[in-house]
Amino acid sequence: MAGRNHLFIPGPTNTPHEILSAMHLPMEDHRSPIFPKLFAPILEDLKKVFRTETGQCFVFPATGTAGWEVALTNCLNPGDKVIIYRVGQFAHLWMEMAKRLGFDVEVHEVEWGKGIPVDHLEARLKEDTNHEIKAVLATYNETSTGVTSSIPGIRGALNAANHPALLFVDGVSAIASIEFRMDDWGVDGAISGSQKGFMLPAGLAILAFSQKALKATETSTSRRAFLSLQDQINSNKDGYTPYTPSTPMLHGLRASLDLLLDEGMDNVYARHHRLGEGVRRAVAAWGLKICAEAGVESDTVTAIVVPEDKDARDVISIAFNKYNISLGAGLSILSGKVFRIGHIGDMNDVSLLGAIAGVEMALLDSGINITAGSGVAAALEYYRSTAN
């Protein structure tokens, strides 16, 4: 098929030319005297993306999933109680990891499409007068449902309960795209990955920890080796890593940070909101619904519900095989019920108009009753009216 595949999944995302070019270089000595000139500024500039002045950033040659494990095993002790709200598939996976690692996981079920219930969390924390709960695990942007929960609200619940639990945030599909303010929101551990807002291939777990969390590592007795924060701290202070890094990925991360910081983080947040809102208006024009309830809609991914007598997998298959467009699938209990449009990373108005047009063709070919051009028109008018 002529033309490239059009990638509109919520990760991996499209990698800009500037990043691809930065990664296309010979191998180099990661123990050389000049390596810290690359790596040390990366760690400092990451603080500008996480919006922290007091926290410390880390880069592991791993994934966001490994980042979950870094937070759990470096800051907690075996058997510690953690609380998590199962708001979607990625919250479910973090929950399962915590169980497998031997933590006492208190799980609260939430209807998929809703956010973390802050009032419920506050009440539960106030009940925990002995402070048995050692950490709150919060999925900031649930990629499977297109739901963004309130991290300031969760911090407010902790403060209202005067509870000392650590706040760990899965920001894999949010950080570097949706507003995130680590210091202002009192986040202790922030977890991201390279393949979403950072616009890189998968392969880096990118994290930030508060001083409170780093202090907790000093007394944690959980077993860890490759994912040890202390090993990173010992090497990072001199601008090195404790083991062989992917130097092309680090050069790509340098280029990513340059793009993000040149645009300005507030502008990055605003751009993602515009792109997401245009997609939501297109969905409304089609007469379809999204999985997320009002008020918690994600600005990086929209999960679109198909009519009950249709199968979202048909839409995805037709989009890929006939129109060369990749859409996100429904995960777990949402399989066949939703398809997802990712609007994260290296995207602009025209990118999303192309996605919406392709989805319209796939919807019509799937027998779903929409008016051709309705979604494109709705998004187009919104983008035109809000363009700078």
What's the pLDDT band for 3 if we cut at 50, 70, 90?
Answer: confident
Per residue in 112-121, pLDDT (tens digit) is 999 999 999 9
Quote helix, strand, coil % in the chain, to nearest 5.
45, 15, 40
Residue 365 has pLDDT above 90, yes or no: yes
Residue 171 has pLDDT above 80, yes or no: yes
- Say what the pLDDT of residue 186 is: 98
- 8 Å CB contact between 170 and 87: no
Q: How far apart are CA 254 and CA 23, in angstroms?
A: 10
- The class (CATH top level) of 6-12+264-386 is alpha beta
Q: Which of 225-228's residues contact partners 24+ apart within 8 Å by CB, and which partners?
A: 227/60, 227/62, 227/66, 227/69, 227/70, 227/73, 227/74, 228/74
What's the pLDDT band for 292 if we cut at 50, 70, 90?
Answer: very high
CB-hemisphere CA count at 13 Å for 349? Answer: 15
Check: pTM over 0.85? Answer yes or no. Answer: yes
Per residue in 208-236, pLDDT (tens digit) is 999 999 999 999 999 999 999 999 999 99
Residue 283 has pLDDT above 80, yes or no: yes
Mark 91-100 as b/e (b = at least 16 C-beta within 10 Å).
Answer: bbbbbebbee
- Say what the pLDDT of residue 160 is: 98
Average pLDDT, the chain: 97
- Say what the pLDDT of residue 174 is: 98
Residue 333 has pLDDT above 80, yes or no: yes
Domain borders along the chain are 6-12+264-386, 17-262
111 burial via Cβ count (<10 Å: 0-12, 13-18, 19+): exposed
Q: Which of 30-35's residues contact partners 24+ apart within 8 Å by CB, and which partners?
A: 30/240, 30/241, 30/244, 30/245, 30/247, 31/240, 35/239, 35/240
**Percentage of the chain with pLDDT > 70?**
100
Residue 100 has pLDDT above 80, yes or no: yes
- Say what the pLDDT of residue 352 is: 97
Per residue in 27-86, pLDDT (tens digit) is 999 999 999 999 999 999 999 999 999 999 999 999 999 999 999 999 999 999 999 999
Level-2 CATH architecture, domain 17-262: 3-Layer(aba) Sandwich (3.40)
Residue 2 has pLDDT above 90, yes or no: no
Better-scored residue on pLDDT, 309 or 3: 309
Give the angle 228-229-232 at the CA atoms, nearest 5°. 100
Per residue in 146-170, pLDDT (tens digit) is 999 999 999 999 999 999 999 999 9
Average pLDDT over residues 363-371: 98
Residue 1 has pLDDT above 80, yes or no: no
| Centroid of chain to Cα 57 | 16
- Say what the pLDDT of residue 284 is: 98
- Measured from the Cβ of residue 244, the count of other Cβ atoms closer than 10 Å reads 9
What's the pLDDT band for 383 if we cut at 50, 70, 90?
Answer: very high
What's the pLDDT band for 4 if we cut at 50, 70, 90?
Answer: confident
Adjacent-strand bridge partners of 339? 304, 329
What's the pLDDT band for 388 if we cut at 50, 70, 90?
Answer: confident
Q: How far apart are CA 275 and CA 108, in angstroms?
A: 32
